[in-house]
Structures are given as C-alpha cells and as structure tokens.
C-alpha cells in the first residue's frame, strides 16, 4: 500500500541485531514508527526461531550421544562364562574373576568405571568448558 507516496517519504527501516548479524528491513507501512515496530516484531520472531533451532540441535546431539548408534558393536560389557572373564568395553578393562563379580564383588569394576567417567568428563570439559556447568 501507499502507491507513489512510498517513494516520496523516508519511512523505510533496517534493523541489525549485532550479536547474530540478523538484518530485518521493512518499508510496508507509510509511517516510519509502524515500520520500526513491524521490523522489531520480525526480528524478535527470527531470533526466537534461531534460538529454538539451536536448542533443538543441542538436544538431538545430546540424545545421539546418550543412545549411541544402536549397533551391536555398541556393547557395554561382555560376560564370558567358559573363560571366567568379564570385559567392560567402555572402561577398557578385562577381569578374570567372573564368579566373584557375579557374587557381588564389584569394587574393581566400579573403580575402573569411575576412572572412565572422570576421563570422559575431562575430555568433554576440554572440548566445551561450559558444558559441565549446565548439568
């Protein structure tokens, strides 16, 4: 709307969100104030969508890390009764005392898992220093 009047007035507005670099321009209305209000609404919705998309990507990344691939190779522990052996594939430890572990003597296995968890958290902290603060 506006016809020739749009060409004769200085009512266009361009807003730049400096942290993200998102630019919104609006010249639909005759009034600069209305154009500014409309541009701010559009900018707000674009920022909201960008943040929503970012959070969704983060959430799906976290889920993928938790779930793994679902492949048979994503094994956690192997109990081999003929060889009296337990292998924890995450902590990369093999114990030849399956009978004791089955009776509840889990200290050696738990110690290895605690060390594995510490290593995993340190690696995660090295990659993303703010990641552990969120949990």
Of how many residues is the chain composed?
135
Number of neighbours of residue 124 by Cβ within 10 angstroms: 14
Single out the residue of 52, 47, 55 nearest to residue 134, CA to CA. Answer: 55
Take residue 7 and report the two structure tokens written for it.
Answer: 């060409």
Take residue 8 and report the two structure tokens written for it.
Answer: 């004769």
Label residue 86 exposed, middle or buried (CB < 10 Å: 0-12, 13-18, 19+). Answer: buried
Rounded Cα distance, 31 and 9, in Å: 9
pLDDT tens column, 67-114: 766 666 678 899 999 999 999 998 889 999 999 999 999 999 999 999
pLDDT tens column, 35-60: 999 999 999 999 999 999 999 999 98
Say which DSSP state 21 is in.
T
Instruction: Kindly list the structural domains of the chain, giving each domain's residue range(s) and its CATH number in brackets, ordered by start.
Output: 1-68 (3.30.160.20), 75-135 (3.30.70.1660)
């Amino acid at each position: 709307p506006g016809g020739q009047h749009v060409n004769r007035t200085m009512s266009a507005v361009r807003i730049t969100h400096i942290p993200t670099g998102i630019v919104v321009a609006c010249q639909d209305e005759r009034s600069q104030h209305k154009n500014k209000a409309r541009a701010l609404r559009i900018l707000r919705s674009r920022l909201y969508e960008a943040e929503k998309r970012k959070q969704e990507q983060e959430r799906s990344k976290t889920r993928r890390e938790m779930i793994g691939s679902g492949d048979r190779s994503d094994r956690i522990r192997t109990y081999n009764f003929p060889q009296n052996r337990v292998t924890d594939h995450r902590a990369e430890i093999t114990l030849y005392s399956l009978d004791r572990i089955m009776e509840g003597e889990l200290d050696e296995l738990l110690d290895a898992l605690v060390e594995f968890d510490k290593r995993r958290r340190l690696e995660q902290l090295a990659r993303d220093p703010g990641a552990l603060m969120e949990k």
